[in-house]
Amino acid sequence: VSGRTLRRAYRVGGDTVEVDLRLEGDRLAGTVRGEAVEARVARVNADTVSVRMGGRVLRALVARRGDVAWVAVEGRVLEVGVAAAGREAPARESAEPYAVSPMTGVVATVAVRPGAEVGAGDPLFVVEAMKMEYVVKAPREAVVKEVRRRAGERVTLGEVVVTFAEGP
Which residues in this chain contact another protein in the complex, by CB under 8 A?
Answer: 1, 4, 6, 8, 10, 12-13, 15, 17, 19, 21, 23, 28, 32-33, 35, 37, 39, 41-43, 45-49, 51, 53, 56, 58, 60-65, 69-78, 80, 82, 92, 100-104, 130, 132, 134, 154, 156-160
Per DSSP, 89 falls in state: P
Q: How far apart are CA 75 and CA 60, in angstroms?
A: 9
Q: How far apart are CA 26 and CA 103, in angstroms?
A: 47
Minimum separation from the CB atom of position 118 to another protein (A): 18
Nearer to another protein, 37 or 116 (CB): 37
Nearer to another protein, 53 or 151 (CB): 53
Nearest to 124 by CA among 155, 99, 150: 99
Q: How far apart are CA 125 and CA 122, in angstroms?
A: 10
- Within 10 angstroms of residue 99's Cβ, the number of other Cβ atoms is 23
Minimum separation from the CB atom of position 134 to another protein (A): 5
